[in-house]
Structure 1
């Protein structure tokens, strides 16, 4: 059990490093140095725990991030996207992209944009000439996706760095409960749950429309005031400060996916795109809400296109 906990922590450290340095050299020697294991031993542990080799994981992660970028920015040259996710050759990128997704990068972008235009039904109309951060500061939005209407307090603002401790979950985002339970079991005896500033969050590493469900990675998190020492399955990192699109929703459990769709539509409408790990912060206990609803802030790191 101790070995499993230790290996879990080491694999988490490497996954977090890959996310933060996707454009850099990410070979097994470089990544093994982050742990106390030899390259050979680390490669075996990583492959066993992740169900794929380190090289395959890095390649898949790069291609999936490229696919997300292709859908978000229709004007960015494919060459730029390839370099930003760590490819040194556009030809190598294009060949691997087609092998992984079954279509060329250009065809993938065209298909995603067509589907987005077809499915987008955002009631609040925005004049393109008014796409400035100040114009969208703390506005109430009414949004509609399909037959669902939602209210959202939306703003684009600067957030300070956010320190979290987390328990990592692999698989469908809707099945994170066990990870939250493990995190709470660790946090209770350390007095972290009794804090008046106690807040839970979920951080998402993948796009479920791009990554296969069983390979999705998400983190059940507890927000803390400053970095703290962790152990076993529990790890920690800091979300960097920066510009975020923040939307507050009051929703039932079956409306979470719709709320996220609304947020990405608003980000697109504001002339921005995601540039990091999105997360949601839970502002209440749904069991204490008169209608058993969640009050959540969806936070998406953004840059202007």
Structure 2
């Protein structure tokens, strides 16, 4: 038992020491998927040697740097293709140097070529399909009829500095999500940072329809006063100023899911707005522990932009 406790403590210290460094490198990767990048360059961003960067990255994420970059490029390409882009333009926009390299990587990950890829068929074959279907299958469901009473507000949100607590694989282990939220909340309370009034938000960094649940990332974020720097166990991020489409929802997870489906699949296509390249957020109007984790009072927030007219 003493050995187990010692190993657990070591893992916690290891994670707190390096997690923000790896998060910084991942943010760089996400912003520049279309650009070439090297292991040494990413290691420098994380302030680690290439050897230690690769080892720490695999320990914290469960996959190699190369596998992570390739998977995220493919997921971006599939996402663009679902929005109407051709495979050629989607692969180029996602950083693949040639159609041949894209097709080779696609077949390695999805087991088929891009032109024969079938999302429903891939879902049927994925190893975590039962768990994924219970919490996702978002794009496999038909869009709900647009409710004329469905209220959406367009709101300009200012730029904000954020402290971020990240969870890997939280959909498979909800207790990790609650623990990450609580760590962020406890630190904010100790630092005298206000937590109510929509200052805490959650954001899924991956699409469970395409990303294995064990690899899905979820961030809890709190807005920071300008003079506060979070401790190393939290990443520091920025939310850019911009326009957001926002709807309020109160109820259980099913109610939240219905709101997201209506907002994304029915309201957004009819709005004429473009979707900005930023994660959607769930902003807590009332904190989960105040009303219980089985019910929520939050805002579903989607980053949008008014399309340019030619």
Are 1:70 and 2:81 an aligned pair? yes
- Paired residue for 2:46? 35
Aligned residues: 274
Cα displacement (A) at 1:69: 1.9
Paired residues of 1:159 and 1:242 also in contact (CA < 8 A):
yes
User: Could you tell me how far apart the structure 1 residues matched to 2:301 and 2:226 are?
Assistant: 20
Cα displacement (A) at 1:25: 2.2
Cα displacement (A) at 1:13: 1.1
- Paired residue for 1:284? 286
Paired residues of 1:70 and 1:109 also in contact (CA < 8 A):
no
Match of 1:106 among 115, 127, 131: 115
User: Could you tell me how far apart the structure 2 residues matched to 1:283 and 1:47 are?
Assistant: 36
Paired residues of 1:153 and 1:249 also in contact (CA < 8 A):
no
Residues 92 and 3 of structure 1: CA distance in aligned 2, closer, same or farther (over 3 Å): same
User: Could you tell me how far apart the structure 2 residues matched to 1:213 and 1:117 are?
Assistant: 16
User: Could you tell me how far apart the structure 1 residues matched to 2:43 and 2:119 are?
Assistant: 38
Residues 106 and 254 of structure 1: CA distance in aligned 2, closer, same or farther (over 3 Å): same
Unaligned runs of 5+ in 2: 1-9, 122-137
- Paired residue for 1:165? 163
Query: What is the correspondence of 1:124-135 to structure 2 with a 5 Å cutoff?
Result: 124=147
Unaligned runs of 5+ in 1: 125-140, 143-151
User: Could you tell me how far apart the structure 2 residues matched to 1:178 and 1:110 are?
Assistant: 33
Are 1:79 and 2:88 an aligned pair? yes
Paired residues of 2:196 and 2:287 also in contact (CA < 8 A):
no
- Paired residue for 1:213? 213
Residues 85 and 226 of structure 1: CA distance in aligned 2, closer, same or farther (over 3 Å): farther
Residues 44 and 254 of structure 1: CA distance in aligned 2, closer, same or farther (over 3 Å): same
Cα displacement (A) at 1:154: 0.6
User: Could you tell me how far apart the structure 2 residues matched to 1:59 and 1:190 are?
Assistant: 39
The two structures, once aligned, show a CA RMSD in angstroms of 2.8
Query: TM-score, with normalisation over the residues of structure 2?
Result: 0.78
- Paired residue for 2:182? 181
Are 1:123 and 2:121 an aligned pair? no
User: Could you tell me how far apart the structure 2 residues matched to 1:82 and 1:294 are?
Assistant: 38
